[in-house]
Amino acid sequence: MIPLQYELILSAMLLCIGLYGVLARRNGIIVLMSIEIILNASILNFVAFSSYSGDASGQVFALLGIAVAAAEAAVGLAVFLSIYQTHGTIELDKIRFLKW
Amino acid sequence: MIAYEWVVWFILLLPLGAFLVIGLVGRRLPEGGGPIAVGAMAGSFVLSMYVFIQVLQQGGLGGAFVPQKIPGYVWIPSLLPENSIKISLLIDNLSSLMLVLVSFLCLLIFVYSLGYMHEEDGKARYYAEVSLFATGMLGTVSADNFLQLLIFWEIMGLCSYLLIGFWYSKPEAAAAAKKAFLVTRVGDVLFLVGVLVIWNVFGTLSFSEIQGKMASLYPNTLTPQLLTLIPLLLFGGAVGKSAQFPLHAWLPDAMEGPTTVSALIHAATMVKAGVYLTARAFIFLVPLSSAIQPPFTAILVIAAIGGFTTLFAATMAVVNFDIKRVLAFSTISQLAYMFLGLGAGAYTMATEVSRGETVDSTGYSAALYHLFNHAFFKALLFLGAGSVIHAVHTNDMREMGGLSKPLPITSKVMLFGGLALAGILPFSGFFSKGEILSVTFAAGADNAGFYWLWALGVGTAFLTAFYTFRLWFMTFHGEYRGHEHPHESPRVMTAPLIILAGFTLASGLLAYPMGGFGNLIFSGAPAAGLPLVGIPAQDYLLEGVSMGVAVLGLALAWAVYATKRIPAERFTASRGGAFIHHMLTKRYWIDDAYDAFGRTVVYDAARALDWFDRKVIDGIVNGVGRGGVVVAAGSDRFDRRVIDGAVNAVSLETVRTSLRLRQRQTGQVQSYAWVVVLGIVVVIALAFGLSFIQRWLGGLGR
């Protein structure tokens, strides 16, 4: 059995990687992928605590989170596709129409 | 009991109705509605006579008429029924007599007015006002309580003002009207205060209820001081209305009105109200039970003012040349006789009550008897004087003389009136005046001061005869000194004169068939006998003295003004005589003093108040206004600068801040994400930091 700390450290590392991707990369697709990594980091936490405490509800949440992540990814991709069609780019520092 | 007692209301309502009708539509009626006034008054007289005869049958001629209250309506209701103020009439011996007297004389004067006022303008106004005047007097004498009396009393005061100022375009008449109103007002205020004090003490204003409550309230609620104060306050009202010293100044000036008005004021109404009020005040002066100490001080004041005024006014009549003013002064003097009689009578009665003896009401009867007689002969004299003035168009006796030929009726009736006024047997004045003097002399046995008052009264009797016949001789004797063509007055004027002349002779002798005047007037005490029969020899002597001095006065007037054996200049030849003459002509400077008082004190006070008003009050008002402007300007500046400034500053700062904040809204998603992450880091740091600090503090505590 893998100790809980390892799993949590892995989860934290995944979170940090995801955060880095969100904050540092310009490409919208990579940002979307980084968000997926952050989500998976949290799902990993669910699973870890579930197996640690012997409670299956964490795994239920994990499955739910995966489903939501898939839907979110689909919505995100659609948004970026739409942005690309209107602006011709998905470089986030070029997209400034959120400004007032 | 009076059958059909509601008719008594009509005694008042008829002249009141005449007042309303004439006042509203009189200008369109013939003679200015005069016949209506006469008719109403005649009706009033008939009803009064009806009431009077019943009172006579039940009271005056043996037996006692029970004073009857004729209930009207509750005017001011109260929680306690006995405290509510009712309008109701009182019929007793005194009021029934007064009703007859007033309505009869008013009737004669109204009839006379038809002739006298024939050529005047404003007849409707005249008849309306005299009708209201008559209503006032009839109401005064039939009122059941002091408040009602005061109301009618004031109606009379108003009418006297209006009538004295009838020729209001004449400045003297307007001034005299104002004077009459203001001077009597002084007395009226005292009367009003008296009524309030009575209400406060007794909780009722009705005469009979007050009399009933006296014994139970004395001496705790009704202290002896209050018992002295109340009649004095009422007498203050009487002094004003009856023109006694020191409020006599208005009456001679009141001659500015038409002569009929003078006759009305002097004979039947107005001035007699004061005597009537004092007679009503006997419920205070002469208590029913011997447990109550009578207010002797108040009685003495009344008698002393009466005694003093009688001589005081008579002296002023001696030097006057205005035929009506001589009569006016004689009215003051004769009214003072009545007050003297009331005072002396009250003193005797009060003494007898406090000693527990039977009460002898001679003085009371004598005074009211004099009122009765005086009403007739003074009305006669005034109407006669009016007839003279009508003929020669002047009031000044120096421009008359020798009028007995052109005015035979007037001169004869004036002679009757003069004899009655002078008190010559068998005319009415003799009986009542002699009676008053003998009562005063008798009161001297209880208080020596009354001997002095008696001496004043006798002196006055001399002067009265003198000035009366000075008037008569100057007017009717000798050669005519004026420039008119005098002629006798029309019949409508002479007829009332002849009737009145008959009464000057008869009213003195009327006392006999009535079994003594006291019997008639003072219910329950018919002791006052016949004026001449069945009285002690001393009284014959006293009557003789009063008659004797009157004859002396008459003789002096004859010598000076008729035969001119003693030239009038001799009296003013010496320096002292001239001074006295001047003093009397100037009416003891009392009018001047009042005028000076008015000019200096009142006028200066008014000026001071005016200055105060302009400078101080207006200054305060202006200051307040100016202060308001300054405050408003300040508040405006505050509003503009501070409030608006604050508002503007807030909005400006908001705009500036938002402009600065706008720069942070880059629109770049990642910069927002940075802030989010930073926020998370801060939250985590805070959570950790707080738990760390907690732990650290806990460690310290341990």
What's the rounded Cα separation, in Å, for the pair B465 and B473? 12
| Percentage of chain B modeled with pLDDT above 90 | 7
Does the pLDDT of residue A49 top 80, yes or no? yes
- The values of phi and psi at residue B72, to 5°, are -105, -105
For the residues B506-528, what does the mean pLDDT come to?
55
Identify which of B111, B127, B150, B139 has the alpha carbon closest to the alpha carbon of residue B10: B139
What's chain B's average pLDDT?
Answer: 82
Check B668 against A97: CB less than 8 A apart.
no
Q: Is residue A49 part of a domain?
A: yes
Does the pLDDT of residue B196 top 60, yes or no? yes
Q: Which residue does chain A place closest to B674, by CA atoms?
A: A23
Residue B59's pLDDT band (cuts 50, 70, 90): low
Quick: pLDDT tens for B580-601.
Answer: 777 777 777 777 777 777 777 7
- B626: Cβ contacts below 8 Å, ≥ 6 apart: none
Check A99 against B666: CB less than 8 A apart.
yes
Minimum-distance CB partner of A92 among B662, B668, B677: B668
What's the rounded Cα separation, in Å, for the pair B59 and B63? 5
What's the pTM? 0.73
Check A92 against B673: CB less than 8 A apart.
no
| A31 contacts on B by Cβ (under 8 Å) | 669-670
| B677 contacts on A by Cβ (under 8 Å) | 19, 23
Check A92 against B670: CB less than 8 A apart.
yes
The alpha carbon of residue A39 is apart from the nearest alpha carbon of chain B, in Å, by 15
Does the pLDDT of residue B526 top 50, yes or no? no
| B666 contacts on A by Cβ (under 8 Å) | 96, 99
Between residues A16 and B517, which one has the greater pLDDT?
Answer: A16
What's the rounded Cα separation, in Å, for the pair A67 and A71? 6
What's the rounded Cα separation, in Å, for the pair B42 and B111? 10
Do residues B407 and B488 make contact, with C-beta atoms less than 8 angstroms apart?
A: yes
Domains held by chain A: number: 1
pLDDT of the residue at B123: 83
Residue B538's pLDDT band (cuts 50, 70, 90): low
Lookup: tokens for B542: 């006293």
Q: Is residue A97 part of a domain?
A: no
CATH number, residue A41: 1.10.287.3510
Q: SS3 of B320, please?
A: coil
pLDDT of the residue at B530: 42
Q: Is residue A10 part of a domain?
A: no
Q: Does B662 touch chain A (CB under 8 A)?
A: yes
Residue B627's pLDDT band (cuts 50, 70, 90): very high
Lookup: tokens for B154: 């004031």
Q: Does A93 touch chain B (CB under 8 A)?
A: yes
For the residues B598-609, what does the mean pLDDT come to?
81
Neighbours of B504 (CB within 10 A): 25
Does the pLDDT of residue B424 top 50, yes or no? yes
What's the rounded Cα separation, in Å, for the pair A6 and B632? 79
Check B677 against A19: CB less than 8 A apart.
yes
**Selected residues 63-92 of chain A with any CB under 8 Å from a CB in chain B:** 92
Does the pLDDT of residue B697 top 60, yes or no? yes
Quick: pLDDT tens for B135-163.
Answer: 999 999 888 888 889 999 899 888 888 88
Q: Is residue A19 part of a domain?
A: no
The alpha carbon of residue B699 is apart from the nearest alpha carbon of chain A, in Å, by 28
Check A95 against B662: CB less than 8 A apart.
no
Check A23 against B662: CB less than 8 A apart.
no
Cα B173 from chain centroid?
A: 19
Check B670 against A95: CB less than 8 A apart.
no
pLDDT of the residue at B118: 80
Q: SS3 of B580, please?
A: helix
For the residues B319-330, what does the mean pLDDT come to?
85
Does the pLDDT of residue B400 top 70, yes or no? yes
DSSP states of B501-554 as a string? HHHHHHHHHTTTTTT-HHHHHSTT-TT---SSSS--HHHHHHHHHHHHHHHHHH
Q: Does A22 touch chain B (CB under 8 A)?
A: yes
What's the angle, vertex CA B389, arms to CA B386 and CA B391, rounded to 5? 110
Q: Does A99 touch chain B (CB under 8 A)?
A: yes
Do residues B349 and B477 make contact, with C-beta atoms less than 8 angstroms apart?
A: no
Report the range out of B359-368, B473-482, B578-587 with the highest average pLDDT: B473-482
Does the pLDDT of residue B355 top 50, yes or no? yes
Do residues B389 and B115 make contact, with C-beta atoms less than 8 angstroms apart?
A: no
Identify which of B151, B149, B12, B142 has the alpha carbon closest to the alpha carbon of residue B70: B142
Q: Does A98 touch chain B (CB under 8 A)?
A: yes
Does the pLDDT of residue B26 top 90, yes or no? no
The alpha carbon of residue B625 is apart from the nearest alpha carbon of chain A, in Å, by 56
Q: What range defines the domain where residue A75 resides?
A: 27-91
For the residues B91-109, what does the mean pLDDT come to?
86
Minimum-distance CB partner of A98 among B667, B673, B677: B667
Does the pLDDT of residue B525 top 50, yes or no? no
- The values of phi and psi at residue A27, to 5°, are -70, 130
The alpha carbon of residue B675 is apart from the nearest alpha carbon of chain A, in Å, by 10
Does the pLDDT of residue B356 top 80, yes or no? no
Residue B682's pLDDT band (cuts 50, 70, 90): very high
Minimum-distance CB partner of A99 among B665, B673, B674: B665
Structure ipTM:
0.81
Does the pLDDT of residue B543 top 90, yes or no? no
Lookup: tokens for B339: 């007050």
Identity of residue B332: I
H or E segment at B354? helix B323-355
Check A23 against B674: CB less than 8 A apart.
yes
Q: Using H for helix, E for strand and C for coil, what is the string for B196-233?
A: HHHHHHHCCCEHHHHHHHHHHHCCCCCCHHHHHHHHHH
Q: Does B667 touch chain A (CB under 8 A)?
A: yes
For the residues A35-63, what does the mean pLDDT come to?
91
Do residues B295 and B228 make contact, with C-beta atoms less than 8 angstroms apart?
A: yes
Minimum-distance CB partner of A92 among B665, B669, B677: B669
